[in-house]
């Protein structure tokens, strides 16, 4: 009887030991999978960070180009205004001369 109980106990212990070994193997396998996934996620994280940096640099370049474009447009507007003033100058001068001449013709006491 005593031997039977001891055999049963040994059998239970062996089964428990097998279960523990099985759990250890599954845990080791799961840990390996977790490690691999963690490494993959870190790689993806680095890739996303690099993309974020690239987008940020493109945004900064876009902002600089936009500011430069505004500056060039402002300079072009000033240049066009100056050109327009130069083109109008002879017309204004001719009109002033014309007004002076007409004024002389219509001024009493001035010989024509």
Per-residue model confidence as pLDDT tens digits over 45-85: 999 999 999 999 999 999 999 999 999 999 999 999 998 88
Q: Which two tokens stand for residue 59?
A: 């945004």
CA distance 44 to 50: 10
CB 112 within 8 A of CB 105: yes
- Please give the mean pLDDT across all residues of the chain: 88
**pLDDT: is 17 or 90 the higher one?**
17
- pTM for the whole thing? 0.48
């Amino acid at each position: 009887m005593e031997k039977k109980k001891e055999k049963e106990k040994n059998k239970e212990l062996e089964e428990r030991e097998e279960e523990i070994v099985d759990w250890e193997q599954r845990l080791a396998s799961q840990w390996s999978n977790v490690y691999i996934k963690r490494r993959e996620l870190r790689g993806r994280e680095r890739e996303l960070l690099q993309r974020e940096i690239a987008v940020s640099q493109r945004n900064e370049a876009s902002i600089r180009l936009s500011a430069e474009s505004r500056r060039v447009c402002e300079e072009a507007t000033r240049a066009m205004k100056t050109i327009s003033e130069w083109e109008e100058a002879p017309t204004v001068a001719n009109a002033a001369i014309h007004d002076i001449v007409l004024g002389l013709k219509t001024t009493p006491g001035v010989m024509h």
